[in-house]
A and B are shown apart, each in its own frame.
With several copies, the nearest count.
Chain A
Amino acid sequence: METEESEKIHRSPVELMAIVEALIFVAEEPVTSKLLGEVLEEEKGAIDAAVEQLQQDYEARDAGLQIREIAGGWQMATRTELHEDVRKFLKTRPSAKLSLASLETLAVIAYKQPVTVPEILEIRGVQSASAIKTLLDKRLIIARGRKEAVGRPMMYGTSKDFLLQFGLKDLSELPSIEDFEDLVT
């Protein structure tokens, strides 16, 4: 028997439950009792007891959350029965988020408008079709007629929603390179 019984129980059960709860909450992935025990310098048995007590408490108070065992570790999640409302909520979140590709495409359009797809390709060096679709879907850009050139390609520009979303009165409020010349070096 080489396991050293290091008696390091310096936390009350309630304190241990609190810190275990916090760690499961911040963890990026399901966290094992073993890892929790190591970080907190507590016996695995004490950790397991704390988690189990937490689970029971969550259930007893009909919480909106649960602590569940998954992939060999503990994870905090919403309670299964609430999935409808949770899903509905996640859908309604205002999404001002753009992927880097979309953002790049938007930047090119904002500063070079009106601009055609081949011109965007020329500047970005990559096809931007899906990004343009995303931007059209989000109403950040609009078609601005056709260019008098071979194939009469569609030109794009930013929309009124673009101004709203980025808090601009008009396009002249877009920061110019000069504005940031002192800052961005």
Chain B
Amino acid sequence: MDQEVEQFTFDFYNEKAQILGGSSEDLKIKLGDFAGPLDLLLFLIKQEQANIFDIPIARITEKYLEYIRLMKRLDIAVAADFLVMAATLIEIKSKMLLPRDPKAEGEDDEFEDPRKELVDRLLEYEKFKSAAGMLYERSTIEQAIFTRGPIDSDDNNAEINATVFDILTVFQKVVARHKEDIKMEIEREEISLADMIKNLTRRLHEQKELSLLTVFEEMRSKRELVTAFIAVLEIVRTEGVKLMQRKTFGDIVLKVS
């Protein structure tokens, strides 16, 4: 039994890209997760058992277009880059059909194979594809190794290591928050800061741990959200409570210490 169209599950070892049949009646396709037009081309060349240095351009172009048509029929958005490559292939194909300039004949050196640029790109690309495979293996090995759990000196783990990118992201968030704050004009009964602190403290002591994400998501308005945020800061400051972030950009957890 063939699976339904199955995409984007990718495993270097078990998940080989492949295209299975494609008659109009019985359209059973397994779309490999092709990383781009070059990836697809390499696959087709291998499937056709063609020599990469002497690509049968007409046949490969036909297969390539067939694949794109299949994607379209399945309502899969075909990325523009795939279409650009289709155009390139057609162009090369037509150049191959042109008779060579008789004047240039004989001087083989000057004859530039229309496929050359594409072949160079494919070869260059394939190196990086192999390198990606190497990285995949490395990360798999690395996932089998664990470092120590937090120790006492790691108490201030609410801190994060910042990069320039973080600065921008954080800035965008602040600005977005600011804009939404201004938009908020609806007044409704809001919980006071004191009540918020009381409420959160009680829950924290009941549950020992409180996910900030959960708390913040419960808030019904920006104003409440801000109140909750300040309340959390107050609690951390005044009570024996720790803010912990187990993963960078992960959820932050309030914890009774």
Q: How would you classify the secondary structure of chain B's contact residues: helix, strand, loop or mixed?
A: helix
Q: Is the CB of A106 within 8 A of B132?
A: yes
Residues A143 and B164 in contact in the complex (CB < 8 Å), given A100-B132, A181-B127: yes
Closest to B142 in A: A167
Pick from A27, A104, A142, A185: contact of B132, CB below 8 A.
A104
Residues A107 and B174 in contact in the complex (CB < 8 Å), given A80-B145, A184-B130: yes
Given A25-B149, A101-B35, A124-B174, 15 further pairs, Cβ under 8 A: A28-B149, A97-B139, A100-B132, A100-B170, A103-B162, A123-B125, A125-B121, A126-B35, A127-B80, A167-B142, A167-B164, A168-B164, A175-B131, A180-B165, A185-B52
Q: Is the CB of A98 within 8 A of B35?
A: no
Most buried by A among B128, B136, B148: B128
Does any Cβ of B come within 8 Å of A77's Cβ? yes
Residues A185 and B135 in contact in the complex (CB < 8 Å), given A25-B148, A103-B166: no
Kindly state the separation between the CA atoms of A98 and B170 in the bound complex, as whole angstroms.
Answer: 12
Kindly state the separation between the CA atoms of A83 and B130 in the bound complex, as whole angstroms.
Answer: 27
Q: Is the CB of A107 within 8 A of B148?
A: no
Does any Cβ of B come within 8 Å of A18's Cβ? no
Most buried by A among B121, B135, B172: B135
Distance (Å) between the CB of B228 and the closest chain A CB?
A: 12
Distance (Å) between the CB of B37 and the closest chain A CB?
A: 5
Interface residues of A (CB under 8 A from B): 22, 25-29, 75-81, 83, 86, 90, 94-101, 103-104, 106-108, 110-111, 122-127, 136-137, 139, 142-143, 159, 165-168, 174-175, 177-178, 180-181, 183-185
Does any Cβ of A come within 8 Å of B47's Cβ? no
Q: Is the CB of A124 within 8 A of B159?
A: no
List 27 A-B residue pairs with CB atoms under 8 Å apart, sorted by A's residue number.
A27-B149, A29-B149, A77-B147, A78-B147, A83-B145, A97-B11, A97-B136, A97-B159, A99-B159, A100-B39, A103-B132, A103-B167, A106-B132, A107-B170, A107-B171, A107-B174, A124-B174, A125-B36, A126-B37, A126-B38, A127-B81, A143-B165, A166-B139, A168-B164, A178-B127, A180-B165, A184-B126
For chain B, residues 128 to 171, give those with C-beta under 8 angstroms from any C-beta of chain A. Answer: 128-136, 138-151, 153-154, 158-171
Q: Is the CB of A142 within 8 A of B164?
A: yes
Does any Cβ of A come within 8 Å of B124's Cβ? yes
Kindly state the separation between the CA atoms of A76 and B151 in the bound complex, as whole angstroms.
Answer: 9
Q: Is the CB of B81 within 8 A of A175?
A: no
